Amino acid sequence: MLITLSGVKSMESNTDSQTLIFRSLHTEYFSTAWMAFEFMVGFYSGLKAGSILLIAFGLDSFLEIISGSTLIWRLRKENTGAGPGAIERAEKRSSLIVGIVLLLLAVYVTAVSLFNLFTHAAADTSYSGIAIAIASVILMPILTVRKRSLGKALHSDALVEDGMCNITCAYMAATVLIGALLTALLNWWWADSVAALILVYFIASEGWESFQEGYKK
């Protein structure tokens, strides 16, 4: 059977695309697994220390698991040749749900933080919370570079945008780290609640962006 030069190039292109999707999937598997670990450590540490800051950080990580799972589903569907219409509808539905929950989380964190400030409620020191925040500050920029590189190679806006979400996660982790360190080192009773209110900005921004993406016709 005669194989033309264009046919060989097409086969090579398909192989390259399959390799990139494979690498992207493994990156997302790792990222989603980390978010699951971050959720468990952050949420548990927050409950144990009475820290609304760590609880909010953990719950945001849980919602990132949903976003990561949606992207994994999309990459797997693209790999099997699913139609773009079905993929887009599922993504919008997921974005809308995540956006609404994030906005509700922002309201909850704001209310609890203000209540804690008015009542002078202080959080306990959480070394596990500090540790998970440090790890996240280091890891998130690495994931951003990796996802943006793969996203550009695949011409996948979703993967590039997910990489940018990791930068937001890094800012959030830095906020958590500062708040936890101020609580641990200086025993400032208000540090946890004030840092949580700063965290609300990132949560609300992320939520509003997801809501708009999901609501967009």
Going residue by residue through the chain, which has 217 residues, state the pLDDT in tens, using 9 for 90 and above: 444 544 444 445 566 778 888 899 999 999 999 999 999 999 999 999 999 999 999 999 998 998 888 888 878 877 776 667 777 777 787 788 888 999 999 999 999 999 999 999 999 999 999 999 999 999 999 999 999 999 899 887 778 888 888 999 999 999 999 999 999 999 999 999 999 999 999 999 999 998 998 887 6
Residue 111's pLDDT is what? 96
Helix axes 127-154, 52-79, angle to 10 degrees: 30
pLDDT of residue 186: 94
Task: Provide the pLDDT for residue 13.
Answer: 56
Matching residue, tokens 């306990």: 124
Residue 142 lies inside a defined structural domain of this protein: yes
User: Given this model, what pLDDT does residue 8 score?
Assistant: 40
| Half-sphere exposure (Cβ direction) of 131: Cα atoms closer than 13 Å | 6
> What pLDDT does 9 receive?
44
Tell me the residue length of the chain: 217
Name, in order, each residue with C-beta under 8 angstroms of 18's C-beta and a sequence gap of 6 or more.
79
Question: Which pLDDT belongs to residue 46?
Answer: 97
- Given this model, what pLDDT does residue 210 score? 86
- Domain membership flag for residue 182: yes
Indicate the pTM of the whole model: 0.87
User: Does residue 3 sit within a domain?
Assistant: no
Residue 8 lies in a domain: no
Specify the DSSP class assigned to residue 81. T
Q: Copy the structure tokens of residue 173.
A: 């982790």
Is residue 41 assigned to a domain? yes
Q: Which CATH number characterizes residue 28's domain?
A: 1.20.1510
Range of the domain at 176: 18-215
Query: Looking at the domain assignment, is residue 9 inside a domain?
Result: no
Q: What is the model's pLDDT at position 92?
A: 80
Domain contains 7 = no
